[in-house]
Structure 1
Amino acid sequence: MTDRLPPLTALRAFEVAARHMSFALAASELNVTPAALSFQIKSLEEHLGKPLFVRLNRAVKLTEAGRMLAPGASAGFTELTKAWRMTRRLQDNATLTVTAGPAFTAKWLAPRLYEFARAQPDIDLRFTASLRLMDFVQDEIDVAIRFGNGPDPGLYSRPLRQEWVTPVMSPEMAAQYPTPSSLRNAPLMFDNSINFLDPPCDWTTWFRAVGMDYTPTHGAHFSQADHAVDAALAGAGIVLGRRAMVIKDLHEGRLVAPYKVALGLKAHFRFLCPLGAETRPQIAAFEKWILDEIDKTASVSDTLQIIPIENVSTP
């Protein structure tokens, strides 16, 4: 008995037919006639020396041999498709597909897109704003920007600037609440998108960092950071603003951070791509642009006393 593989077209016809359990649907997916598909499967059965399908009146079902072959055929074509996609995309230096969370996209990436387009007019930038974990190959993603602690095994992972949080508000509201103690009477707001962090990064921890024993219990809660920041911009209240979400508004004066004490987080944003892909021209250009943009607002962080959150004593 030889291990020589049968023709790839015959195996492909079998894999699709086994997935659909229908010759007609398989023929439609492969854009061939049912007779042509049936011929391919028949030739595969002759190569094997056993039937792979039981042909019923209006349906088919797998034989024991078909059930044995189907999982491996499916896995093999899945891997082959992934490899082909990866190889094909190596030839494309003009398209860059980036995924980032909706809040980071809205507050950091989107306001700066004009600058990237002006600096790299030959790169077609595409965004997928999602928190869903994506497969770089299956979802055809070049770069992911994600927030958390990592690690990121098997990926090129570049930590971006340290993240911190500090109370931010409109200049008008800052005039009403000039000191941390005055915040006891202020309309405080809550960004619930970072509730997963450990140790917790919340108002109670920040007040503890400035020497106050105070836990606010009332205020508007937001599931997304950009919505909380938008509310602060509108003068609706004061929020613990995350660096990436508020840095541009602080730098340009739409928001202020009057108390100068920030909590430094363990979690951070990372620039992620498949290992080795970081040298592709459009990915390298995008990474450099992000780092350059971060440097433009670095002076804001320099004005703050950043206390590592793990150094804030617990009760």
Structure 2
Amino acid sequence: MQPSLNLLRTFDAVGRHLSFRAGAEELHITASAVSHQIRDLEAQLGMPLFVRRHRQIAFTPEGAAYHAAVSRALTDIRRATQVLQGAEDSAPLRVSAMPYVATDVLAPAIGRFLAQWPSLRIDIQAETRSMDVAGGDTDVAIRFGYVMHDQTIPLAPAEVTLLCAPSLAETVRADPYAAAQRYSLYSMTDYRELWTRWFEYQQWPDTFRETISLNSYRGLLMAAAHDGLALGLLPVVTPLVQAGVLAAPLPLQRMPLAHFSLEVREAVRWRPEVVALVSWLRALFSECARTTDEYFSSLAV
């Protein structure tokens, strides 16, 4: 029985790092899944490939020889694919995201990544519609949604909190429910139900005035910054609060909502620059989440 390419790719990653955890990080799967795949490969081959020690692993003699051969073969496959897809490789790498994430999170930071890949061209697609990655609409999609599928790579949990014009912060903090009855409530056109969920989360009476909806998330944030209230999507709106454009009157009130995640087109998934980009995006969102936790904790002191 010939091992699957997926098992061999996992074996190659673990062997290069000599670590299940580091191999899992590279492949964007759990260390447990990596461990199970290596055991499946060893069972198919009928011999151990690694010696398990406390907190570390090492090759068996057979494993070392097999890894060298597998690594060469996978490199040859990647090179052959790059030659075959030469025209595609020269095209910009398409990265899609909801408009606010594209313009306010990704675009300002992507230069740091491109400094490490100077020959790479990236086309950032700001899209409100869900891009069909498998169908070729885009190469890398930053998703926002309530459900993560098997092919998605987690980036960060998403939460919402109440934001308002800085001039209203004290009034809202003193009586947020009364403020929600008095001032304009801004919402995204397709996410009007968020205010209902927020009222339920706060255990406020379930009646409130009709919201003002916009089809631009940045637009509604800027509108709220002048004279009203909005629900801020964390961690991506934190820079606007740090800059004083908006105020967060209830910093400890953060409602769990959904997830930010990634989906990558299979044809480009294992290109070195795409593997590096995925790792960089995960680090970017992790840093956004860490900064958000630290900053909002400081507001509550």
For 2:277, give the aligned amino acid: F
**Does the C-alpha gap of structure 1 residues 258 and 133 become closer, same or farther in structure 2, counting only changes over 3 Å?**
closer
99, 104, 109: which one aligns with 2:106: 109
Residue 206 (structure 1) aligns with? 198
Assess, with a 3 A threshold, how the Cα gap between structure 1 residues 95 and 109 changes in structure 2: closer, same or farther: same
Distance 1:294 1:134, change over 3 A: closer
Aligned to 1:121: 118
| Cα distance change, pair 251–89 in 1 and its aligned pair in 2 (3 A) | farther
User: What CA deviation, in whole Å up to 9, does each residue of 1:139-170 have, x standing for no partner?
Assistant: 463211122234545x4x11221111111123
1:150-299 aligned within 5 A:
150-152=147-149, 155=151, 157-179=152-174, 180-183=176-179, 184-195=181-192, 200-202=193-195, 204-233=196-225, 235-260=226-251, 261-265=253-257, 267-275=258-266, 277-297=268-288, 298-299=290-291
Q: Pick closer, same or farther for the CA change 1:188–1:86 going to 2, 3 Å.
A: farther
Amino acid at match of 2:124: F
Does the CA-based 8 Å contact 2:107-2:124 persist in structure 1? Answer: no
Against the structure 1 CA distance between its residues 288 and 190, is the aligned structure 2 distance closer, same or farther, given a 3 Å change threshold?
A: same
Determine if contact 2:134/2:265 at 8 Å carries over to the other structure. Answer: no
Q: Report the Cα distance in structure 2 between the residues aligned to 1:253 and 1:277, rounded to whole angstroms.
A: 40
Match of 1:63 in 2: none
Question: 1:137 offset after TM fit, Å?
Answer: 6.7
Structure 2 unaligned regions, length at least 5: 1-80
Q: CA deviation at 1:133?
A: 4.4
Aligned equivalents of 1:87 and 1:161: distance in 2?
A: 35
Distance 1:106 1:230, change over 3 A: farther
Partner of 2:72: none
- For residues 134 and 86 of structure 1, what CA distance do their matches in structure 2 show? 27
1:309: which partner in 2? Answer: none
Equivalent position of 1:149 in the other structure: 146
The one-letter code matched in structure 1 to 2:201 is A
Unaligned runs of 5+ in 1: 1-83, 306-315
CA deviation after TM superposition for structure 1 residue 268, in Å: 1.7
Change (3 A) 1:148 1:219: closer
Give the count of matched residue pairs: 213
Distance 1:119 1:255, change over 3 A: farther
Q: What is the distance in 2 between the residues matched to 1:164 and 1:281?
A: 32
Deviation of residue 185 (structure 1)? 2.0
Distance 2:233 2:163 in 1: 9
Contact 1:191 1:239 in 2 (8 A): no
Amino acid in structure 2 at the alignment position of 1:273: V
Q: Matched residues in 2 for 1:219 and 1:91: separation?
A: 45
TM-score, normalization by structure 2: 0.59
* Aligned-pair identity (%): 24
SS in 2 for 1:254: coil
Deviates more, 1:138-147 or 1:158-167: 138-147
CA distance change for structure 1 residues 135 and 165 in 2, over 3 Å: closer, same or farther? closer
Deviations 1:216-260 (A, max 9, x none): 213421123222122233x13210111254122124443221212
Residues in 1 aligned to 2:247 and 2:104: alpha-carbon distance in whole angstroms: 16
Q: In the alignment, is the contact (CA less than 8 A) between 1:262 and 1:304 conserved in 2?
A: no
1:232/1:286 CA distance change after superposition, 3 Å: farther
Q: Displacement, 1:98? A: 0.9
Q: 1:87 to 1:132 in 2, by over 3 A?
A: farther
SS in 2 for 1:167: strand
Whole-angstrom CA distance in 1 between matches of 2:218 and 2:93: 24
Whose radius of gyration is greater, 1 or 2?
1
In the TM superposition, what is the alpha-carbon distance from 1:271 to its structure 2 partner? 0.6
